[in-house]
Each structure stands twice: as C-alpha cells, then as structure tokens.
Amino acid sequence: MTEEPRVIWFTGLSGAGKTTLAEKLVSYLKNSGVKCELLDGDTVRNIFPQTGFSKKDRDEHVKRMGFLASMLERNGVTVVASFISPYRESRDFVRKMCKNFIEVYVATSLETCEKRDVKGLYKKARKGEITSFTGIDDPYEPPLNSELTIKTDNETVDESFRKLLNYLNC
C-alpha cells in the first residue's frame, strides 16, 4: 500500500463480512507499519451519543463518521471504516470529504446474511421486534460504482481478503 493515507469504506448488509475484513485489514496494515485506525459501526455506536435508525439518523451518523474519517486522513492516518451505510447519498457525501476514498462493497445476499445472523438481529426484525432494519423493512442502496466489490457468499474470508489486498496493492 502506498504511504499516502486513504479512507477505505466497507459497506454492505449486516452480516455481510464488513467487520471481519476490516479488522483483518487493520491488523495487516499495522503489522506493515501503516498508521491506521478502525471505525466500526457497532463500536462507534457504543461510544458516541446514541443515534437512532431512521433515515435521517442513519444519514447523520454516516456523515459524522465520514467527517471523522476525513480528519484522520488529513492528519496522515489511513482509516478503515466498516458501516452498513445503507444510502448512496450519505456515502457519496463522505466520498467528497475525503481525498483518497475507496468504497468496498461487501456484496452478500440477504439470504446468506440471515444465515450468518450471529447477533440474532434478522430474526428479531422478521418478528417485528426491530423496525427500520436494513434489508428487511428499510432499504439498502448498493453502490453503483464502488472501487471494489467483494462477494462473500461463495468465497472464504482469505479469498476475499486476497482480493482486497490485490486491489490495494499490498
């Protein structure tokens, strides 16, 4: 990977594999001497004031995280961000704030994500216990022109990770 900092933004449904790939990438980059930080949707929501899940709340949350990512990037830090970030408009907003933005679409079918459902969120959403859940009763707008699309339905984590490293020239 080049020395120039980047914002590597993973997007996709819950359970797609975003965090798994992002964590693996951060470990790889740090071991390679790259100054980097991980911004992960689940972790960040636990630290920052609770935000809701309406379209407006999600957009604001993604924009805030994008602003933070752009600030880190400007200060020489490569940012690996893992957020569902379901709406194109807010992802495009983040793209415009960053100098070197790489959108990685972790394209995994809803069926596969529901099978993985380690947190039980899809089951709760199907029962109506969770509303405005992306992919069930709230839309996910896939990127139209992501820099990289990784399809985790039929490949191992290592296969997906190799595609990511190849794209990033690592």
Question: How is residue 131 written in tokens?
Answer: 């509303």
pLDDT of amino acid 68: 95
- Are 79 and 39 a contacting pair, CB within 8 Å? yes
Distance of CA 111 to the CA centre of its chain: 19
Residue with tokens 């004031």: 49
Q: In the predicted model, what is the mean pLDDT of residues 3-31?
A: 96
What digits encode the pLDDT tens for the residues 50-92? 666 778 888 888 999 999 999 999 999 999 999 999 999 999 9
pLDDT of amino acid 118: 84
Full-model pTM: 0.93
Amino acid in position 1: M
> For the chain, what are the domain ranges?
7-161
Provide the H-helix boundaries in the chain.
Answer: 18-31, 41-47, 55-74, 88-97, 110-116, 121-127, 157-168
Nearest to 104 by CA among 34, 16, 43: 16
Q: In the predicted model, what is the mean pLDDT of residues 35-56?
A: 79
Candidate from 16-30, 43-57, 84-98 with smallest mean pLDDT = 43-57
User: Does pLDDT of 139 surpass 80?
Assistant: yes
pLDDT of amino acid 1: 45
As a whole number of angstroms, the distance between CA 59 and CA 139 comes to: 13
User: Does pLDDT of 130 surpass 70?
Assistant: yes
Give the residue numbers annotated as catalytic, written as ranges: 85
7-161 — its CATH code? Answer: 3.40.50.300
